[in-house]
Structure 1
Amino acid sequence: MTACLWPGDNQRMKEYHDTEWCIPTDDDRYIFEMLTLEGAQSGLSWNIVLSKRDSYKKAFHNFDISCCAELTEHELEGIKEEHQVIKHMAKIRSVKNNAIQTLKIQKEFGSLSAFLWEYVQFTPIIHNRSTDEDIPSQTDLSIQLSKDLKKRGFKFVGPVTIYSFMQAIGMVDDHILTCPFHTSHRTS
């Protein structure tokens, strides 16, 4: 079997590909983590963000949504100065903003997961792509979800970011068909 090529020889990327990418989750904390990291990635490489993941976890209280929603401006500035995160202040502030919006969604829908998974009728979209090059950077669905999240006040949720996010939480399986991690080859 031929695995997806995009992780290359990078061990961190391979581990993410093999153990997380395109695996469905309904864990709001993890979903919020992926939303945060994908937003931080905007304009950068995923490898850079993954290399800073532990620092993000420490800085943002392991992505505890309530804690992130209560961060003060002083604390956000401290995160920029004291932690190895992407030093883009708007991206750092977006974590608090998106946590606040997530709490609103949780109150309205019961969970962030329920809100998001409704877009795919609670069933992952499983593609049968032949090559990595066949994977789009955005889709009509990511464009729609991006618009809806922006209307709800979320930041750093453009359609390309949201498509990567959908892959990250398993709403979409974009492993190439010959990849041992494609849904059709998983045993559990």
Structure 2
Amino acid sequence: MANKERCVWSNGSELYQQYHDAEWGVPLHDDDKLFEFLILEAFQAGLSWLTILNKREAFRAAFDGFDAVKIANYGEDKIQQLLQNKGIIRNRLKINAAIKNARVFLKIQKQYGSFDKYIWQFTKGQVIQNTFQDDKEIPATSNVSDAMSKQLKKDGFSFVGSTICYAYMQATGMVNDHVTRCFRYKECTEMQ
């Protein structure tokens, strides 16, 4: 797929290309995957997404396969273990946020029947189809990510500012921000 035109941000790294070609912008409705991205996006705050992708498998191992029930029950011993794990981002605030977010995630699942139903309400269950010609046109936030951030914070989530929410929407396919000349644009447009 090396000769296909992609979004510029995915160039320069094979890992970025794989992520771009297979995951970014694909509508997700699986609670486990939605939770994984919620955790990873929070850890990404202030860092590059490539840093997170490079550590993704270490995160998966350290955080029990992103099992929300297990993470919600982490105590101080597990926090100390995570703080010593060189394979992940060792930031106490972000680790504490992951635990807190797991607890809120489980509460939301019970309340709404699924996290999918809760998170997709912000786009009325539809993918927002943008038609950007150039990567420079893609915003860091939107009215939808502003509203999502406000509600997630109100519901108890941490590390869910509007920029993180917008990146989350891109990663989980709630918004299609592939530029129109990218080979994935049409493919993602046809998904729902």
TM-score greater than 0.5 by the shorter chain: yes
CA distance in 2, matches of 1:166, 1:18: 16
> Displacement, 1:110?
0.6
TM-score (norm 2): 0.94
Q: Which deviations, in whole Å up to 9, do the C-alpha atoms of 1:93-151 show, x marking residues without a partner?
A: 11110000001100110111100111111111111110100100000110110010001
Q: Deviations over 1:59-106 (max 9, x none)?
A: 111101111111112101201203511111100111110000001100
Q: Which structure 1 residue ranges, 5 or more long, are not aligned?
A: none
Number of the residue aligned with 2:122? 119
Do structure 1's residue 178 and structure 2's residue 181 form an aligned pair? yes
Cα deviation, residue 187, structure 1: 6.9
Q: Distance in 1 between matches of 2:164 and 2:21?
A: 20
Which of 33, 39, 42 is the matching residue for 1:39? 42
Supply the distance in 2 between the matched residues of 1:34 and 1:172 (Cα, whole angstroms). 14
1:136-175 aligned at under 5 Å gives the runs 136-175=139-178
Contact 1:65 1:99 in 2 (8 A): yes
Alpha-carbon distance in 2 for matches of 1:115, 1:124:
15
In structure 2, stretches of 5+ residues that fail to align are: none
How far did residue 2 of structure 1 move? 3.0
Paired positions, count: 188
Rounded Cα–Cα distance in structure 2 between residues aligned with 1:100 and 1:185: 32
Question: Does the C-alpha gap of structure 1 residues 187 and 162 become closer, same or farther in structure 2, counting only changes over 3 Å?
Answer: closer
**TM-score, structure 1 length as denominator?**
0.96
What SS does the corresponding residue of 1:16 show, helix, strand or coil? helix
CA RMSD in angstroms, aligned pairs only: 1.4
1:3 CA displacement = 1.6
Q: Which amino acid aligns with 1:69?
A: A
Q: In structure 2, the residue corresponding to 1:182 is in which secondary structure?
A: helix
Distance in 1, matches of 2:31 and 2:47, equals: 25
- Shift of the 124–28 alpha-carbon distance from structure 1 to 2, 3 Å rule, reads same
Aligned residue identity for 2:172: I
Following TM superposition, the consecutive aligned residue runs of length 4 or more in structure 1 with deviations greater than 6 angstroms are 185-188
Q: Which amino acid aligns with 2:74?
A: L
Residues 173 and 183 of structure 1 are in contact (CA less than 8 Å); yes or no, is this contact kept in structure 2?
A: no
